[in-house]
Structure 1
Amino acid sequence: MHETRTSSKRAASRRSRLTTVLVLSASALLSVAGPAHAAAPMDPLPADIPGYQAALDLVKSADVRNAVCRFLSIPVPQGDGVGAPQPIPDKADPCEGMSAFTVQDPLALNEITPGFAAGTSLPIATEAVKLSYLVSALNAPVNGRNATVMLAPTQGGGWHLAAVREGDSDATYAGRATVGTVVFAEPQIRGWYQLKLTTVEPLNDQARQGLGGQPSVSLSDYQKLVKARYADKLPGSVYDTTGMSSGYGAAKKTEGASSSTPALVGGSGAALALAVGAFALRRRRNAIA
Structure 2
Amino acid sequence: MHETRTTGGRATARPSRPATVLAVGAAALLALAGPVHAAPAGGPLPRDIPDYQAALDLVKSADVHDAVCRFLSVPLPQGNAAGDVQRIPDQADPCQGVPAFTVNDPLALNELAPGFVAGTLPPIPASVVQLSGLVSGLNAPVNGRKATVMLAPTDGGGWHLAAVRDGDGDAAYAGKATPGAPVFSEPQIRGWYQLGLTSVQPLNDQARQGLNGQDSVPLGDYQKLVKARYADKQPGSAYDTAGMSSGYGSAPAAAPSSTPALVGGAGAGAAVGLAGAVFVVRRRRRTAD
Q: TM-score, normalised by structure 2?
A: 0.72
Q: CA 1:223–1:135 in 2, change beyond 3 Å: closer, same or farther?
A: same
Partners of 2:242 and 2:82 in 1: CA distance:
20
Partners of 2:197 and 2:147 in 1: CA distance:
31
Q: CA 1:114–1:248 in 2, change beyond 3 Å: closer, same or farther?
A: closer
How much does 1:179 deviate? Answer: 2.3
2:107 corresponds in structure 1 to: 107
Question: For residue 220 of structure 1, what is the amino acid of its counterpart?
Answer: G
Partners of 1:44 and 1:161 in 2: CA distance:
23
Partners of 1:83 and 1:243 in 2: CA distance:
23
Q: How does 1:1-289 map to 2 (within 5 A)?
A: 44-79=44-79, 82-83=82-83, 88=88, 91-245=91-245, 267-269=257-259, 272-277=260-265, 279-280=267-268, 285=286
Question: For residue 214 of structure 2, what is the amino acid of its counterpart?
Answer: Q
Equivalent residues, number: 229
* SS of equivalent residue, structure 2 residue 133: strand
**Structure holding more helix per residue:** 1
Larger radius of gyration: 1
The structure 1 segments of at least 4 consecutive aligned residues displaced by more than 4 Å after TM superposition are 79-90, 246-249, 284-287
Identity within the alignment, %: 72
Partners of 1:148 and 1:232 in 2: CA distance:
32
Q: TM-score, normalised by structure 1?
A: 0.72
* SS of equivalent residue, structure 2 residue 233: coil
Partners of 1:235 and 1:134 in 2: CA distance:
22
Question: For residue 73 of structure 1, what is the amino acid of its counterpart?
Answer: S
Taking CA–CA contacts closer than 8 Å with sequence separation of 6 or more, which of the two structures ends up with the larger relative contact order? 2
Question: For residue 262 of structure 2, what is the amino acid of its counterpart?
Answer: L
The farther-off stretch of 152-161 and 124-133 is 124-133
* Unpaired stretches in structure 2, ≥5 consecutive residues: 1-41, 251-255, 271-284
Question: Cα deviations across residues 162-183 of structure 1 (Å, max 9, x unaligned)?
Answer: 0011100101000001122111
CA RMSD of aligned residues (A): 2.9
Partners of 1:241 and 1:170 in 2: CA distance:
29
